[in-house]
Structure 1
Amino acid sequence: MNTPTGQLAIKDIAALANVTRAAVSNWRSRYQDFPSPTPQSPARRPLFDLQEILSWLKANDLLAQDAATRSVEFSLKATINLLRASTLEPINSTFLTLYLLALHKQAATTTSDSWQSVADSSTTAQLHQAISDAPVPARHLPADAPAFVCEIITHLPETLAPDLINGFNSLEIEDYGQAATLTIDSILGLGGRGSSSEFGTSKSASSALLVNAAATTIKDGDTIFDPACGIGGTALSLSTRGTNLNVIGNDIELVSAFIATIHAYLADIPATFTHGDSLANDPHPGLSAQTIVTEPPLAMRLDREIQQSLLAEAGIDASTVFSEEAFVLYILSHLAPGGRGYVLTGMSTGYSGRSTQFRQALVARNALEAVVQLPQGLLSYSSIPTMLWVIQSPEHSQEASVLIADASEASQPEAHIGQWLTELRAGIDASIPTGKISLAELITNEGSLVPAQLLRKDRSSQEVHQELEQSSTQLHDVLELIHSAQSAEGEFFEHLPTAAAVSSLHQLIARKIISRQRPTRRLNAPDESPETGLQARQITSRHRGNEAKIVTVEKDTPLLQDGDIVLPRIGTSPAWVFTADGSRWVAPLGFLVLRVNNQAFDPHYLAACINASFNEAPQLGLPIARRELKQIQIPHLDIDQQREVARSLEKLNDLHNQAEELSKLTVKTMDAAINVIRYGSSSR
């Protein structure tokens, strides 16, 4: 038996000793005889010689009890670390390692003696020749795969080849599938970050979510297809969810398809992986699959010809599609009758205006079974929130509707997605908000398919009245504790009216009841001197302060007037009514200025409604939530009622300013009052 060689990272040493990384770092500082990093080791991520570490741990009686049984794992990691310390791209290091493992397996399971030539290689040139002469190990691996490996080898340092081969010669592998998984996780693992993390690993949450979702509909003997499979992790994981499954994957990147093929060979999984552009030149034009899964590239623009071809083949009428929608169309054209497709997309697919027609067409054709909104952090390479789209062949239902679920606040969605989908389909209560919307409701909602927004429920009249009573009582109790506060007399709201009708802010603007003022444009060009413009103070909050920025704007810029409503587009910042003070004030870009043109509406009442909880900006996957005028609702009251409500709210606002301790209760009472106006009518 050969002596294991290679290098260990600090985390590997910690695993050998069954301690934390901090403990290993402590040993390095405390013990002068602790092995030094290897000469070529990166300074920020030091690597240590395997044999030196083993000797030191044994001498200090620090080896973990299971170290002997995990010797193959540590030896393989040590060998992999030789490549990690080189300048090879992580994806190429992965392919080279897996290819050598495949040759190693070929020698162990067949009569091939090709590994002997590899084992005898002591130079890069000899290794290059041995790989060229060896038969291709995996059945579905293309004949040009050895040439690809040889190209990678040419970039290896000359001194690395013998150490690398010695490392592989020392391995006594029983489970090659486990060795393949360990290789991928070690090189392309989540800890690597960067561009390599897009390939996913056995720990990939997005892959686990797709697997657990698709497993709810897989039947024995089904064909499973991933048209953008990457290194094949999702497709290979699905191979264990049934018997006699026909697993097929395709990826546009050649090396990714190679890795998937070798992984399948090492794990003894009968799967086929191909290389090609699924959208532009479909490698599987006649394929019909019962289950299709994919995590497509996000928000990529496609050639117009490709878009039109996909739309025509799927029978969907839409003006334009991006990469996520394109893969949905591709899935539709390859789904077998009764089949399901599971697609992970960004949030924009659910709300973007350019995709409105696409979403409505899917629902109209009964091609969309469900949409599940997911939390941030699911993807290994991005923190953006995502959505799961469950596509179905149109034969499933005659009702043009779609199931929706909001898991945006849920933890570990990958572990629970199967249960949620099962509950959704059965129509039973789930642990997350769920529902169902019709095509008519989708169109009424302007085509938006954002579950968190659609599942925001109206509140009952009894509930909002009780909330107002409770918050008012709590506020009185706190006031009694503040001796310096002015006594509050009577009820905060007497004869509070309720609204029988509601208009959106957009509708009020269209009817010219409210006008939207032209945005401020600052003068920044070289020829735009202060003489060509107007100097004004720039307001950024209700509290102006004494150090407001002086800006130069166009001379015809509309200045803020007394009673203007200043509305930040950022959804968490409140609107307020501007009070003139004799100075020139303008609002910056990113702020809306609304001017009331009709005496039938009170600006203070409008501002209060804008700030109400039922007008809270929806979370659409953007870094900052933004208000949409079409979504802001204004309950109708007559002007006297508005002013009375506004006066009452102003009293409460004064109380809020008197003491910071009252802040939360005051805001709650104000919101409760507006909720009564919005939801409190017994005729609703």
Structure 2
Amino acid sequence: MSDTSPTVAAAEIARLAGVTRATVSNWRRRHADFPAPTSGGTETRPVFDLGEVQKWLRGHGVQSADSPVQRLRSLLRSDVDPASVPTLIGQIGADSSPVHAAVNAAIGVVGLKQTLDTLAERGLDAVPSTGVYPTDHPVAALMADLLAASASLPRSSILDPACGSGTLLIEAARIGATSLAGQDSLPVQSARTERLLSAELPGVSVDIRTGNSLLADAFPGEKFDAVITNPPYAQRDWGADQLALDMRWEYSVPPRGESELAWVQHAISHLVPGGTAVVLLPPAVASRTSGRRIRMELLRAGALRAVVALPPGASTPRQIGLQIWILRRPDRAASEDSIFFADAARLPHRGDTQPDWQVLADRLIDSWRYFDHGDTEAATIADFSAVVRVMDILDDDVDLTPARRVRAAVDTGSVASSAHAAVALLGEHLAYLRDTAATLEVWPAGSGTALRTATVGDLERGGVVRIVSSSTELADSDAPVRPVLSARDLLSGRGPSGLTGPGVQVSSEPIRDGDVLVSRFRDDHGAAQGARVAEGEDVGAVPGAGVIVFRTDPDRMDPWFFAGFVGSPDNSAAMVGATTIRLDPFRLRIPNVHPVDQKPYAEAFRRLHRLRVAAVHTADAAQRAADLIGTGLTSGALEPPTKDE
């Protein structure tokens, strides 16, 4: 630990003052007396003396949003080396230094978990995170509930060989585990998890160890009733050469590019006969050619019992749809000739990507329970789950992608009724689209006189409009979960499709009713950038990295007038870049029109927006109806109408 004064970065100043990082940047540009950067930072990430910043904030009338957690963050950054954080976690309760006192103060205000998260932030500063992702709580809870619904041995002892912050082990305790074991390659993670579980689960035996589970298994030869884990993905240095003759590879030696299948076999090796493992994996593991041999052997042995596809966005990394594999260490008395598949990505969603977790969990857990208890008929749900014979999968590919198997198991009655319902819904959308189009009267010809315009930069200096947020930051682990509006949502005319969470870049200020939302990027077809006024489900969401939020003075600039002219031909000059075309918001030009004269334009732009939204919903309904009718015709659930019908 050093004797230097605590320092803070721009993001920490923003938290301290309760503003955005863009505001801090403006302070630095506009106020000559703003504290100068100190040594220890970089040109792109300067740091400032905490005392000087606090003095400047007080001098300029800025009420500090200081808190014990923020003070702790500042002390950790200035006084604590990341490598010493595990030791600091082990010394919680001591008061021998200012840092220990700050830790104790934070615990007194926000509790142990949030304080440990703050300590871990510092401990992980120097650690690359490629392939390592936290397990979102809904997914962790679902994995534990699937384990609880299994027809296997009692689950009193559970191992997580890549335990991270302990999310899955906490869920394991919820379903009744009395002995928890975990291992993580990062000392800060194992120290953090050990401390948290020991404090929050006093009646449970906790044993957390440090080390790389594949290269240095901390529990050699030990067997557990169950394993639940979210292992690292796409590891290239997992030890393929050193572990070529390892006894854990009962189902064939994992190729260098199949680290995930090494983790799968590691999990099985720690199970008692009949024990169950629930593993979260990327979807490529189900179909990569290099893993075909291991997938085949897992199926032949009856070790792989289920593959469940989650929708993209359900957990980090959010750009892909992860899968849950359920495995069981074969018991010689058992003979398995079928496997359970579920495609949860086909369930109704909130927005574009977030599933309805209650519907997903209820349906999936019930279906899995029926299957694992032998009722294959009850386990099969049209367009959601299927039970497939192992011999039907053992082809040249051994492709375990759930969508491929679920689509092949068609319930003709369900398809027919769904198709009829989809056609009826399409009719409703078509009627609404016609009604919306009917509001667009015959438009009188214009005079052709160009309107006098001003740039957004000029309007901002005049206080007519301001850019709410032009920068983003990683969402804090203790922040409430909010919907996230992406640039793609704007371009497609849909509502927020994501959720905040660790590792998601978002603005710290939520969207308000009447804000003007603009995509920073041009869409794939070269169309004008998406722009609309926030209303309905937009309000309260946070803008993602590709979204610019403008807030107008409504007495001087109608939001819909502003949003409509963002897409004008004159604003093509505001699009810059060669390969990635993006918007420079300060170069946008908006007509300088009296507020009274803005109203007709604003109402017209609002009608056009409703027409675009109606068109998007109608197109979605048409695609859904066409897909179901096509499935019905090819499966025999529907027949083409005769000429007399």
Per the normalisation by structure 1, the TM-score is 0.49
CA contact (8 A) 1:332 1:393 kept: yes
Q: Distance in 2 between matches of 1:465 and 1:298?
A: 39
| Separation of aligned partners in 2, 1:670 and 1:360 | 36
Does the 8 A contact of 1:206 with 1:379 survive in 2? yes
Kept after mapping to 2: 8 A contact 1:351/1:448: yes
2:156 paired residue number: 222
Deviations 1:421-470 (A, max 9, x none): 413324568898222212132225842110122222569798999999x9
Contact 2:131 2:233 in 1 (8 A): no
Distance 1:207 1:289, change over 3 A: farther
In 1, distance between residues paired with 2:394 and 2:355?
29
Aligned residue for 1:271, secondary structure, equals strand
2:139 aligns to what? 209
- 1:438 is aligned, of 351, 369, 389, to 389
Tell me how far 1:334 sits from its aligned partner: 1.9
Find the counterpart in structure 2 of residue 562 from structure 1: none
Amino acid at match of 1:217: L
Q: Does 1:16 align with 2:16?
A: yes
Identify the residue that residue 73 of structure 2 maps to in structure 1.
77
Compute the displacement of 1:181 (Å): 1.1
Return the match for 2:228 from 264, 289, 293: 293
- Matched residue, 2:85: 97
State the Cα distance separating 1:235 from its structure 2 match: 4.8
Contact 1:6 1:167 in 2 (8 A): no
1:44 paired with 2:44, answer: yes
CA distance in 2, matches of 1:326, 1:681: 43
Matches within 5 A, 1:334-413: 334-336=270-272, 339-376=275-312, 383-394=319-330, 398-408=335-345, 411-412=353-354
Deviations 1:164-200 (A, max 9, x none): 8699599564344431112224664xxx798236554
- One-letter identity of the residue aligned with 2:385: T
Q: In the aligned structure 2, how far is the partner of 1:165 from the partner of 1:11? A: 21
Corresponding residue for 2:260? 324
- Matching residue's letter, 2:85: T
- Cα deviation, 1:283-327, whole Å, max 9, x if unaligned, reads 323322233122334355754784554466x5x468968322222
- Code of the residue aligned with 2:84 in structure 1: it is L
Distance, in Å, in 1 between the alignment partners of 2:363 and 2:406 is: 15
- SS across alignment from 1:82: helix
Q: How does 1:451-470 map to 2 (within 5 A)?
A: 451-457=402-408
Q: CA RMSD in A?
A: 5.1
Distance between the aligned counterparts of 1:414 and 1:424, measured in 2?
17
Q: CA deviation at 1:227?
A: 1.8
CA contact (8 A) 1:377 1:385 kept: yes
Query: What secondary structure is seen at the aligned counterpart in 2 of 1:11?
Result: helix
Which amino acid in structure 2 is aligned with residue 209 of structure 1? V
User: CA–CA distance in 2 between the matches of 1:53 and 1:430?
Assistant: 60
Letter in 1 for 2:401: V
Q: For the structure 1 residues 670 and 284, does the alpha-carbon distance in structure 2 shift closer, same or farther, using more than 3 Å as the test? A: closer
What is the distance in 1 between the residues matched to 2:20 and 2:337? 55
Cα distance, 1:405 vs structure 2? 1.8
CA 1:187/1:96 → structure 2, altered by over 3 Å: closer, same or farther? closer
| Kept in 2: contact 1:194–1:381 (CA 8 A) | no
- Cα distance in 2 for partners of 1:241, 1:307 equals 37
State whether residues 35 and 53 of structure 1, in contact with CA within 8 Å, keep that contact through their aligned partners in structure 2: yes
SS of structure 1 residue aligned to 2:302: coil
The total of aligned residue pairs comes to: 418
**Structure 1 residues 413 and 356: CA distance shift in structure 2, 3 A:** farther
Return the alpha-carbon distance in structure 2 between the equivalents of residues 258 and 43 of structure 1. 34
Native 8 Å contact 2:419 2:625 kept in 1? no
How far apart, CA to CA, are the structure 1 residues paired with 2:381 and 2:42? 50
- CA–CA distance in 1 between the matches of 2:404 and 2:22? 45
Confirm or deny: 8 A CA contact 1:235 1:249 kept in the other structure.
no
Match of 1:274 in 2: 209
Sort the Cα spacing of 1:45 and 1:403 in 2 relative to 1 into closer, same or farther, 3 A. Answer: same
Give the partner amino acid of 2:8.
L
Shift of 1:226: 1.4
Q: 1:198 to 1:228 in 2, by over 3 A?
A: same
> Counterpart amino acid of 1:251?
D
The answer to whether the 8 Å contact 1:13/1:24 transfers is yes
What's the counterpart of residue 333 of structure 1? 269
SS of 1:331's equivalent in the other structure is helix
Partner of 2:466: none
Q: Give, in angstroms, the shift of residue 329 of structure 1.
A: 1.9
**Structure 1 residues 5 and 267: alpha-carbon distance in aligned structure 2, compared to 1, 3 A threshold:** farther
DSSP 3-state at the match of 2:181: strand
Matched, 1:448 2:399: yes
Written as runs of structure 1 = structure 2, the 5 A alignment for 1:255-654 is 257=190, 260-261=193-194, 271-279=206-214, 282-299=217-234, 300=236, 303=240, 306=243, 309-310=246-247, 314=250, 316=251, 322-336=258-272, 339-376=275-312, 383-394=319-330, 398-408=335-345, 411-412=353-354, 418-419=361-362, 421-425=364-368, 426=370, 427=378, 433-443=384-394, 446-457=397-408
Check the 8 A contact 1:289/1:334 in 2, yes or no. Answer: yes
Q: 2 CA distance for matches of 1:29 and 1:319?
A: 55
2:231 alignment partner, SS class: coil
Identity of aligned residues (%): 24
Residue 73 (structure 1) shift: 0.5
2 CA distance for matches of 1:424 and 1:334? 27
Judged with a 3 Å threshold, the aligned counterparts in structure 2 of structure 1 residues 680 and 238 are, in CA distance, closer, same or farther, namely: closer
Amino acid at match of 1:351: S
Task: Describe how 1:28-67 pairs up with structure 2 within 5 A.
Answer: 28-63=28-63, 67=65
Counterpart of 1:249 in structure 2 is 182
Structure 1: runs of 5 or more not aligned = 109-114, 120-163, 475-662
- What is the TM-score of this pair, normalised by structure 2? 0.52
2: distance between equivalents of 1:670 and 1:180? 52
- Which protein is bigger by CA-based radius of gyration? 1
- Cα distance in 2 for partners of 1:167, 1:26 equals 34
Q: Which residue of 2 aligns with 1:26?
A: 26
Structure 2 CA distance for aligned equivalents of residues 379 and 453 of structure 1: 22
- How far apart in 2 are the matches of 1:266 and 1:680? 59
Letter in 2 for 1:103: Q
Correspondence list, 1:86-235, <5 A: 93=82, 95-105=83-93, 107-108=94-95, 115=96, 119=97, 173-174=107-108, 175-185=111-121, 188=124, 195-196=128-129, 198-200=131-133, 204-205=134-135, 209-218=139-148, 222-229=156-163, 231-235=164-168
Seen in structure 2, the aligned counterparts of structure 1 residues 28 and 363 have a Cα distance that, compared at 3 Å, is: same
Cα offset for 1:78? 0.9
The offset of 1:245, in angstroms, is 2.8
Cα distance change of structure 1 residues 681 and 232 upon mapping to structure 2, 3 Å threshold: closer
Letter paired with 1:406: D
1:272 CA displacement = 1.9
Q: Is the 8 A contact 2:85 2:122 kept in 1?
A: no
Structure 2: gaps of 5 or more residues: 371-377, 431-618, 641-645
Distance 1:341 1:680, change over 3 A: closer
**What is the CA-CA distance between 1:670 and the residue it aligns to?**
12
Letter of the 1:224 counterpart: I
- The one-letter amino acid paired with 1:179 is T
Contact 1:319–1:357, Cα closer than 8 Å, also in 2: no
Indicate if the aligned counterparts of 2:255 and 2:291 stay in contact, CA closer than 8 A: yes
